[in-house]
Amino acid sequence: MKTVSPVTLVPINRWMQGENSLKEDLLAVEEPLQIKLQFGQGDHWQEKALAVTMRTPGHDFELAIGFLLAENIIHGPEDIQLIRYCKKVKDEEKGNVLIVKLSPSVKVDLTLLDRHFFTHSSCGVCGKSAIEAITCEDKALVQDFSKVKTSLLKRLNQMLMKEQTVFKYTGGIHASALFRTNGELLFLREDVGRHNAFDKVVGAAFQQKLLPLSDGLMMLSGRVSFELIQKAIRARIPIIAAVGAPSSLAVSLAKEKGITLIGFLKNDRFNIYSGKERVEMEES
């Protein structure tokens, strides 16, 4: 199987202080990943090309698992029988096509997935064909939760930056990191797509049977969209903190479903948009 690196060197012309020079620059790789789904029972198995997403190679199985969980296709680790890269593909597609075989007990109704499953790396629900298809029917999170201290929140940005390996070298990649409210880092994943990074982290937690995580906190390197809140609800992660701003729809959904949403998180300040009861205020 071809190994695909998350970074690549490209030749550039660098203009600096009036002089031009030939250099090399390290970039984050962006390549398509096709996710195929195999499902059925006995002698009646179907295979469907479910999605193509532009992603940074690495942790592809986690990405696929997180995506399937977010789309409500799977609910537990026992729903997946096998996941592997497809072998019978063109040379340029090797390492970029994988198939997930579901357990025979999983019932799949693809007519409910009213979505054109082609997404680019920054895309969220842009493939949905109607606004009705993006409603979130999951139950609100219960209020039995662990609180996060403001002293930890103020450190999260530095903790995230410290672990962002690819970002240090390229400056062009997003990150999602799952912490416990005591500050323990569980998983961090990077990707050119915000949604992909989130799915990779959820996929990793799913594989380790850590979901739902009542004391979970997801830290994001960018802004917060509606679909990222939707993914958090599906994974039952109660706290979302982000360096960037949330959208109005993200805030509305967070309030409706009992998610604590924190934005513009810096070393010395942050905004709480919903769920302030999960934040333990401390004196500076």
Grouping H, G, I as helix, E, B as strand and the rest as coil, residue 154 is: helix
The answer to whether 220 and 241 have CB atoms below 8 angstroms apart is yes
CA distance 197 to 243: 15
Active-site amino acid positions: 123
Measure Cα distances from 111 to 13, 102, 133, 137 in Å.
Answer: 50, 17, 11, 17
CA distance 263 to 251: 10
Label the pairing between strands 239-242 and 216-220: parallel
| Strand residues in the chain grouped as ranges (E) | 7-16, 19-28, 31-41, 44-55, 80-85, 97-102, 118-119, 148-149, 174-180, 185-191, 216-220, 239-242, 260-263, 271-274, 279-280
How many Å separate Cα 253 from the centre of its chain? 18
In sequence order, the 6+-apart residues with CB closer than 8 A to the CB of 116 are: 127, 129
Q: Is 56 exposed, middle or buried (0-12, 13-18, 19+ CB in 10 A)?
A: buried
Label the pairing between strands 174-180 and 216-220: antiparallel
The answer to whether 70 and 230 have CB atoms below 8 angstroms apart is yes
